[in-house]
Each structure stands twice: as structure tokens, then as C-alpha cells.
Structure 1
Amino acid sequence: MSNHSHHVDGVGRFSMLAQGALDEVPSDITVGVRISENDESPVTFEEAQDESGTGTYQIVLLVVCGLVNMSCAISTTAVSFISPAAEIDFDLNSTTKGILNGAPFLGMVLGAYFWGVFGDLKGRRLVILGSMGMDTFFTILSSLVQHVELFFILRVGNGFAIIGATCMVYVYLGEFLTPSKRDSYLLFLELFWALGMLIGPALAMVIIPSNMVLISTEYFKFNAWRIFILLTSIPSSISFILIYQYPDTPRFLMFRGYIIKSREVLEQIYLVNNKFTTVPYPVQVFTQTHSAVWFDTGFIGGIPFMINVKKRITVLKNGHLTLLSKYFRNIIVACIIEFCIMASYITILVWVPELFSRYSNYKLQNSDGVNLCTASEWHLKYDKLYAAHAVSGNAYFAASVVASSTIPLVLITGIIIKYVDKKKLLFMTCGIPAIFASLVTITHDDLQAELLCCLFEGLTSLTEPIIFCTIVELFPSNVRGVAFSMIVMIGRLGAIFGIVVFGILIDKSCYMTFYGLALLVLSEYNNLNM
């Protein structure tokens, strides 16, 4: 492809983009000059990024982004851990518990598109900072409110906040990585999500069953589950502080015209990764050549950028046209798979504490081993007799065990993903869990049910990060944020659907509910053949 075919318009983006996500800059697009002892040679952005290397900088950034992902996991599932304990305070039944559990996901649906557009216009870093700051604020407030309606609204706010970081943390980390390292790093990012899923119930297991009450008056009560909610704000606040120390991605800066800043970030990465070298970063100059991407951040055609709303709308319109024309099939398939996986994976995740809390109540009065559905039916029949009992720590222990089941599988997949076709991995993570969902209905004790839930969650939890790794490769930089957000938004609609429908059906036909989950997972499997 010749240089003249890459037209640069007045808003700093290619009208035509080469295929391939993070690799959309073709080899003939010059963005810099490599200076050596005897030569000065032009380099592409990929070559400039390769020169900075992959090492200490990216490893530390992986941990920081991992903490962001962990914070999102804790905030996403926090409501599911307090619903058994808040049952009396908020006068909850299974349906209202489902609605309350769905609150964060409703916020995610409302916020996903906003954050995606914001991330493509203003940067990935600002999205993560805004997300973590807002999540901290809404979490603290939700620990203090005394009415379920206000609590619901604030948890919707939590969801609105954290979806920005959930969408953008993969893009942010991915744009600091070279293609050879990207898949394994992004999959290991999922490990921190799993750690968040483990830390949440572990903290709940310590705090909530204690039934401690710090303040109790006629109008204000601050008891154990509210203390738990307050403590879940700490990871988000720490994440905000840590991400604040990092710049935006060099790729985003380059594509938005901050050419000098982009080179400075790459040089910083080089110096951290090669701290014992005396050789300077070899790409000494990022130039504005006729084939380089250029985006004037101060003026567009002599008009101040901040008031040129029409140009910004053009950026969004062109990006969406690109997404829905060139990448239409990719976005549809990814959205369907994401809807089904979140409707099944998240549903089991948020209902585990409630289901095993019911089983614990059953075991207090019965010695016979039964499946989860039978125990749930017994609980519903006699719940008035045991409503005042303290929530058993066994329910949170079960949630911790189920959450931890994802860790070994994430580690294994992180190692093999470079050698195994992603589509084959998706076939495995979408097909096998359907069997485990069906088998839950024929277990004979809570240990067997726990094991099957572990296998189900362990495999289904891998689907989303594998999809995210694939998305990073499928969509170009100028639409990647919107693509991520659209897919994640559809996924959270699936989560709302699964959580609320599960809450309605679990008391009416527990067995059919689990069979329905199996069918949802099989739907993902079927769409992989599209």
C-alpha cells in the first residue's frame, strides 16, 4: 500500500485504516527516526515500541492495572454478599434480591458507551481515573444510606463508574505491549479479577457473620454488612492513586497528535526496562512526515479545538461507520457471546452466597444430603422460622472457593494461549460448562454442588478475557474503545437478564433455572460457528 493512500483528515485520524487491531499502522507509515552511529533510518510506531522493550515497566503496570481489575471485581459482586444479611434491614425477597444484585449491571449498561466514547476522545487513563474516583465516592455513600431505594440508586452509580475501568483497563495495558506479549499479559490481568472475586467473599466471611453494630439509633444504623461495603472502597481509592502516576498510552498519544509526548513515554519505558544501560533510546526523533499520523491538539484549520464540536462529532461518526461496516460481523458475534456468558457466569457468581446460605439453613435442621434445589425449596418453606438467624460464614466460604477456582485455569491458559488457537479455547470454555450446570441438579450434598460450581465458574470465567484478547486484535485503535464498550454493555445487559430472571425463577422452578443456564452457555458455543 503506498503512502498516498493513507489520507489524513482535519481531525487527525486515517480515513482508511489497515486491518489489524493494535497493528493497524502499516510498515510504510513513518512516525520516527532511529539514530545509530552510522545511520539514520525511518521507523514505524511498532518498531519504535519494540525498541522500548517489554520488561519491568510492563510487569509493574500489569500489577497496577490488575489492582484496578480487582477493584472492579470486588465492587461488582459486593451486593451479592450483603443480600442475605440485608434481607431484614431492606425487607428483601428473592425477586428484590435479584433486582438489587442487578443494580451495578444496570449502571454498567448506562455507562459503557459513555466511557468508550470518552476513552477514544480523551484517553484511556482519564477513564480509569474517573472510574476509580467515582466508585470510591458511590461506595462510601452506599454504606451509609438507610433506605433500599437510595442504596439501589447508588449501586447503579457504582456500576456506571466501574464499567469504564472494566472496559478500558485491557485497552490501556494492551497499548503498552508488543504483539508477542499481549495475549499472555492480558490473560494474566484476569487473574486479578479472580483475586478480587476471592477477596470479596473472604472479607465478607470475616465481617458480616460477626453481626457487629457500630451505631444503632432510630434513624441510622451502621452494622456489619455496611462496614463490609465501606471497606470495599479501599481498593478503588488505592487504584486511583497508582494509575495517577502513569501516563496515557504511547499509541493513543501518537494517534491523537501528541507526538513528542508519545516518544517521551516510550523513552521512559526504555529507561525502566534497561536501567543498567548507558545507551540512550535509539529513536531520537518522532517526526511529522507526510505519512505520519497528525492531530493538532490546539487548532484545527485555525479554529480552537475545544469549540470545534462538529469535528469531534465527525470523529465519532466516522469511527462508528468503520465499526459497523468493516467490523460488523465481528461486533455482532462478540456481542452475542458476551451476552450469553455474562448471563450465565455472573448469575451463578452473584447467587452463590444466597444459594449456599439457604443450604446452610437446611443443614442446621436436617442431616440428609440433598441437592441445592431441594435445600432451596426447604428454606423457602421454613424461612420465617430462621429469618432472624445470623448469616452462616459457610455461604461466604463457598463463594470464596468458587471464586478461587478460576485462578489455576487462568494461570494455565496464560501459559498456553500463545500456542493454542483462541477459537479452540472458546469452544472448550463454552461447551463443557453446560454439562456442569445441568449436573448441579443431581448432586447429593453441598460439597458436590460446590465442586460443580467451581468447574462451571472456572471455565466460563476464561471466556471473557479470551474474547478481550481477541477484540484487542480485531479492532483498530480509533474504534477500539467504543467496540469494547459496546460489547461490554451488551454483556452487562446479559448479566441483568440472568440475575433478575434467576431471582424470579429460582423460587418457582429451581431445576429449570439451572437447565436454562446450560442452554445459555450452549448458545455461546453455537455462535462460535458463525
Structure 2
Amino acid sequence: MEFLRGAFDFAESAGAAEMETYTTDDALTIMGFGKFQALVLAYAGMGWVAEAMEVMLLSFLGPVVREEWNLSPQDESLLSSVVFAGMLIGAFTWGFISDRYGRRTVLLLSTLLTSGLGFLSALSPNYLCLLVLRFFVGIGVGSGHVFASWFLEFVPAGNRGTWMVIFSFFWTIGTVLEASLAWIVLSALSWRWLLALSALPCFILLPFFRITPESPRYLCAHNRMSKATAVLERMANANQAALPQGVLTYHGETKTDSITRTPEDEHLISIREKEHTVVNALCSQSGVTDALRKLLSHNLRRSTLLLWFVFYASSFAYYGIALLTSQLSDVNRSCSSDLIFELQQKDGNLYKDTFITSLAEAPGLILSALLVDWFGRKATMCCLMFACCAFLGPLVLHQNELFTTTLLFGARACGTGGTTILCLYAPEVYPTSVRSTGVGIATAIGKIGGVVCPLVAVGMLRSCHQMAAILVFELRAGAAPCRSCLHPLPCGDQGPGDGLTHGVESVPLGIHMGL
């Protein structure tokens, strides 16, 4: 009898060994972050540098084109608005393509679109042609969240928080590079050279596309296990590690591409990455109806409407401050003279000021990371946004150049910190079942703020209504924290040093530029 029992146990264990499986999360955890992920980070990071440069470019393009083509303030502001409109369309379009046809498809098509039309816009013969080309560049730039999610899908879960902070600095690098490039190029050459050179990071990506891997999570989600295994084996060879024993499976795995996530991943993954998770829910009429019905239900209606407004106001303030940097310098001189103001491209003060204020992104991100665990997410976000208003306040009157630059530096640092924390705070407002959908829609609504803000930052300032324009920004930036105070306290915001939702330990902040 004992012999038969032993034989049965041996057969059972042998059968279990034959059925041993592992998931991509298991494989990533065992292999760790190595050379393979570093190369993925470099490629995705360059995509974010390119996006940041195209957005930062808007601070310089309007003033120089206005002088050459005698544009009205409305025409000048439209140059920025069409880019943000394109980004809004691109965010959903690329997310849909990414989920249906793969991450690599989006990496290639969006890079081709941004680089090609970005370069062609430098050859624009007239205003209308430039407007159309920049709109399509905006669509290409809207793929930034796919670059972020593609990178995350190669990172072990335990390290995502740290690497998301590192990844977020690529945006800051892009803004500083564009400010430096404008300072050098516009002081000696024309805006056409600036447009052409700003497209260079996208061209750099193209030769390396052939060696970029498809996301193993995407391949598993589409039941292409053999290709997913091949990618993981390639990763193991690069990292000099070994895959787990058994067969790769998708059963029971955390699904990064779906609406359902673990509480930890909800806070480690950036808002840009969340944009594409909602696309599947929005690609059909039933999906739209079901998503909106849940978000506007009795229990969530108040939180949803408040969050939509906060995202809109924060986006309006964040992008508006970037545009104010270049506009206020010109307006202070043009509106104080009875003569027609002529932009002097060789005057480096404008570009120096923009370069200095672009550096505020880094301390803003660091400041938010330091304060959030001590004072809680909502309190820190409200304080930083109110501080942003305080820095903008003196600008209702004309100030000297040094004081203006100092105020804008402080406003941008605080605005950056506030919007960073908003991206951490927002997922905690919703229950897990509608979290990604709610944040994705709120992010899209936030981009409307980017479309509208140039009409104020450019249109009103060019019409010499500086006080009215700054007051509008004050109201928008101040309304965001006021409305935030009306939100119910999320479960992850319980006091100094608290962790994330459901007891998950606190992690560094992620990317904030999805607003």
C-alpha cells in the first residue's frame, strides 16, 4: 500500500511539473531591470524628448511667424491651439491602434508622422499650410502615452515607481533642449531652421526601429505566446539571466492592457499610459454609454464632474504658463510703446528667460515627491496650486524682466508639482472597476484646456490686455485646488507618510505631463 501511495505521489508531482507555468510578471521579476530595459528606456525616452520639444516649440513659433506674416493675435494663438487639438485626437487614435495592432506599429507610424510633417512644416509657404501641418504634427505627438506604456510593459512591477520618475525627466530634458535650441537658432537663423532641427529626435528613432521589440504583454493578450516567449528569451540573453521554468501563460496575469489593474500598478503607471486603456471602452457606442453611466452614477457623479474641471483647469494653467514666458516679454515692450513693436530675433533675453523657466520642471517634480508623503496628496496639490496663483498675482501689472522671470519660474515649478500630484490623486478618487476609464476621460478633457489656453496667453496679451489675461489664469489655477477641496478624501490620502490605496507601500511619483 505504501508503495502504491508513493508511486501515486510521484506521478502527481511529475504531472504538476509538466504543467508548470509562468507569466510575464514572473519572468520580468526574475530577470530584473538590465541592459535590455535600458535600451527600451533610451528609445521610449527619446520619444518623450521629441514630444516635449514639439510642445515647447509653441512658445517660440508664434512670435516669430507673426512678424514675418503679419498675423493677428487670433491667428497666432491658433498655431498653438491646433497642435493641442491634434494631440487630443492622437491620444485616442494611437491608443486604439496600439491595442489592436501592437505597440511597435504606433511607434513607427507616429514617429514617421511627427518627423516627416515636422520637417515639412519648416518649408510651409504660407500660414494656412503651416496650420494644417502643425495640426497633423500634434496628432503624431499624441502618441506619447504609448511610448510610456510600452516602456512600462518591460519593467518589473517592484521597480516601476522608481523608473517612472526617471522616465519623467525625459520630458524636462526635452523642454530644456528646445529652449536651448531656440536660443541658439533664432539668434542667428530663421524659425524654419528651428522647426527642422526640432524634428531631429524623431529622425534619430527611425534607424533603430528595426531592433525594437513588441511588448510581451500585448503578445500574450492576443494569444501570440510563441512570439512573446521569443521576446522574453531575447531579454534574458541581454540581461544574462534565465527565464522561469515552465510554459508562458496569460492566465491569472495582471493585465496592463485592460481596465482592471492591481492597486499598485494604478499609481505607478502614468496618466498618459492610462489614456489608451480607456480606448477599448470608448470605441463602441455601448462602451461610451456604459462608461459614462458608471462615472455619472449617483455615487460618482460629484467626483467625476469635479475631477473633469480640475484636469481642465490644471492643463490650462500648465500649458498657459509655458506660453506666458515668451509672450509677457514681448508684450511688456510692445504695449508700452506707441510704435509698432518689431521682434528682434537677435535679442537673446527672450530665449534666455524661456530657458531659465524651463529648468523649473525638475525642482517642481522633486518638490512634489518630497512633500506628498508628509502632507498627503490633496493637501500638497492644493498648496502648490495656490502657490502657483501667488506667483502669477504680481504679473497683473507690468514688471521688470528679472522679476517676471523669477515669478514665472516659481509658477511653473509649483504648477508642475501640482499637476504631478493630480496624476497620483485622480486614480484614488475612483473604485478599481472604473478607475482607468474615469482617469482616461478626465485626461482627455484636460487637453481641452490646452486648446483654449493659447487664446488667452496669446490672443488677450497681444491685444494688450495683460491684467485680464493674468486674472483668467489666476481664476483657472485657483479654481483647481478649490474644487479639489470638495473631493471626498481618497483612501490613499490619510496623512503624513501614508501609503497608496489598499495598503500598498508608497512609491515615487510618476509622469505628470499627460494633462
| Short-chain TM bin | 0.7 to 0.9
Question: CA 1:313/1:191 → structure 2, altered by over 3 Å: closer, same or farther?
Answer: closer
3-state SS in 2 of match to 1:116: helix
Aligned to 1:378: 336
Give distance in 1, aligned partners of 2:371 and 2:230: 34
Aligned to 2:204: 238
3-state SS in 2 of match to 1:257: coil
Aligned to 2:401: 446
Q: Per-residue CA shift, 1:322-352, capped at 9, x if unaligned?
A: 6445566576555433321221111121232
Shift of 1:421: 4.9
Aligned to 1:109: 88
Would you say how many aligned residue pairs link Structure 1 and Structure 2? 441
Give distance in 2, aligned partners of 1:292 and 1:183: 19
Question: CA 1:396/1:443 → structure 2, altered by over 3 Å: closer, same or farther?
Answer: same
Q: Per-residue CA shift, 1:64-89, capped at 9, x if unaligned?
A: 22211110111123233132222232
Give distance in 1, aligned partners of 2:434 and 2:220: 12
Shift of 1:151: 0.5
Aligned to 2:327: 354
Shift of 1:457: 1.1
Q: Indicate whether 1:286 and 2:248 are aligned.
A: yes
Aligned to 1:372: none
CA RMSD in angstroms comes to 3.5
Give distance in 2, aligned partners of 1:401 and 1:185: 26
Kept in 1, the 8 Å contact 2:397–2:466? The answer is no
Give distance in 1, aligned partners of 2:330 and 2:216: 48
Give distance in 1, aligned partners of 2:203 and 2:388: 35
Give distance in 2, aligned partners of 1:68 and 1:475: 32
Question: CA 1:57/1:527 → structure 2, altered by over 3 Å: closer, same or farther?
Answer: farther
Q: Judge which range, 170-179 or 467-476, deviates more.
A: 467-476
3-state SS in 1 of match to 2:63: coil
Kept in 2, the 8 Å contact 1:184–1:415? The answer is no
User: Amino acid of the residue matched to residue 471 of structure 2?
Assistant: Y
Aligned to 2:99: 120
User: Amino acid of the residue matched to residue 525 of structure 1?
Assistant: P
Aligned to 1:304: none
> Among residues 187, 193, 215, which one is paired with 2:171 in the alignment?
193
Question: CA 1:405/1:292 → structure 2, altered by over 3 Å: closer, same or farther?
Answer: closer
Give distance in 1, aligned partners of 2:95 and 2:422: 17
Shift of 1:505: 2.3
Kept in 1, the 8 Å contact 2:25–2:253? The answer is no
Question: CA 1:57/1:199 → structure 2, altered by over 3 Å: closer, same or farther?
Answer: same
> Among residues 245, 256, 261, which one is paired with 2:227 in the alignment?
261
Q: Per-residue CA shift, 1:80-119, capped at 9, x if unaligned?
A: 3132222232112333211122221121233332222222
Kept in 2, the 8 Å contact 1:112–1:485? The answer is no
Aligned to 1:77: 56
Q: Indicate whether 1:176 and 2:136 are aligned.
A: no
Give distance in 2, aligned partners of 1:205 and 1:422: 37
3-state SS in 1 of match to 2:246: strand
| Mapping 1:391-430, distance limit 5 Å | 391-411=346-366, 413=368, 421-430=376-385
Shift of 1:496: 1.5
User: Amino acid of the residue matched to residue 75 of structure 2?
Assistant: T
Shift of 1:417: 6.9
Kept in 2, the 8 Å contact 1:187–1:414? The answer is no
Kept in 2, the 8 Å contact 1:108–1:489? The answer is no
Kept in 2, the 8 Å contact 1:346–1:495? The answer is yes
Aligned to 1:339: 312
Shift of 1:448: 1.4
Aligned to 1:99: 78
3-state SS in 2 of match to 1:378: coil
Give distance in 2, aligned partners of 1:76 and 1:83: 12
Aligned to 1:522: 478
Shift of 1:55: 3.6
Q: Per-residue CA shift, 1:123-172, capped at 9, x if unaligned?
A: 233223221110111111110012001111111111111112x2322222
> Among residues 386, 398, 413, which one is paired with 1:431 in the alignment?
386
Question: CA 1:293/1:408 → structure 2, altered by over 3 Å: closer, same or farther?
Answer: closer
Kept in 2, the 8 Å contact 1:347–1:499? The answer is yes
Q: Per-residue CA shift, 1:268-319, capped at 9, x if unaligned?
A: 334433x2x5xx3114312476x7899xxxxxxxxxxxxxxxxx99985676
Q: Per-residue CA shift, 1:195-234, capped at 9, x if unaligned?
A: 1111112111111122x4xxxxxxxxxxx11111111111
Question: CA 1:353/1:314 → structure 2, altered by over 3 Å: closer, same or farther?
Answer: closer
User: Amino acid of the residue matched to residue 403 of structure 1?
Assistant: S
Shift of 1:258: 1.9
Question: CA 1:389/1:398 → structure 2, altered by over 3 Å: closer, same or farther?
Answer: closer
User: Amino acid of the residue matched to residue 205 of structure 1?
Assistant: W
Give distance in 2, aligned partners of 1:263 and 1:320: 35
| Mapping 1:139-178, distance limit 5 Å | 139-164=118-143, 166-178=144-156
Kept in 1, the 8 Å contact 2:172–2:362? The answer is yes
Aligned to 2:44: 65
Shift of 1:357: 3.4
Kept in 2, the 8 Å contact 1:97–1:503? The answer is yes
User: Amino acid of the residue matched to residue 176 of structure 2?
Assistant: L
Percent identity over paired residues: 18
Question: CA 1:313/1:405 → structure 2, altered by over 3 Å: closer, same or farther?
Answer: closer
